[in-house]
Structure 1
Amino acid sequence: MNSFDQIRSHLESGLPILYPTETLWGLGVDVTNLQAVESLYKLKLRDNTKPMSILVKDIHQATQLVDCDPEALELMSLFWPGPVTFVLSDPDNKWGAVTASSKFVGLRCSA
């Protein structure tokens, strides 16, 4: 099993991973796994009223998670991958567990 398969297996099991970004090390879980997200809040001793961002691999994945307007897509193409988090509308609160039930979600594509 290669390292990517090991990471995927770890995430699919609901366990956290540690990953580098341009600015700091991130601690993350599979955002589609509600129990994993709740565990991450506990592990980080983070108040669940404070939102967390979602790490994406590219613009295409971002567009699968939320509706991105043309202006956001243009800016993403300029600044991603890189140390910029885009805060986008999530009107249906699809990512409420990560966003502290706000109507916005932060997406980041690290280099």
Structure 2
Amino acid sequence: MHTIEEVLSKKLYGLQYYNRLILPFKAEFLKVIVADDIITDFSPASKGIFIRETEDYTGVYFLEYKELKDVVSKYEKIKVVVVEKGKDIFDFNNHIKLALSLEGHHKVKIEKCDQDIIFLE
């Protein structure tokens, strides 16, 4: 398992299969923006998203979509706000904004958001 900082510094990729993202880190998800949807409910009762954490990765299932690549073009990004597992969720300095790009061949590029990317607070 990698930390988010390791993933960013080593430029590690995630994976994408149909409506599922596989991310090489553990995190507490605060917000996910995909296409026109802003998701903030990550409870087991949520109908839009399901997050499954294992020892080695985090699986994110987008239940409203059959295929992510049909709703997220190569020019768009899935944006997430996360906190590294084990860090203080109430410290805003620990909130990390990431942009996830579907690169093709099941690869997901993971980048820290810069100021140029619009991110709804």
TM-score normalized with structure 1 length: 0.31
Larger radius of gyration between Structure 1 and Structure 2: 1
- Structure with the bigger percentage of strand: 2
TM-score normalized with structure 2 length: 0.30
- Structure with the bigger percentage of helix: 1
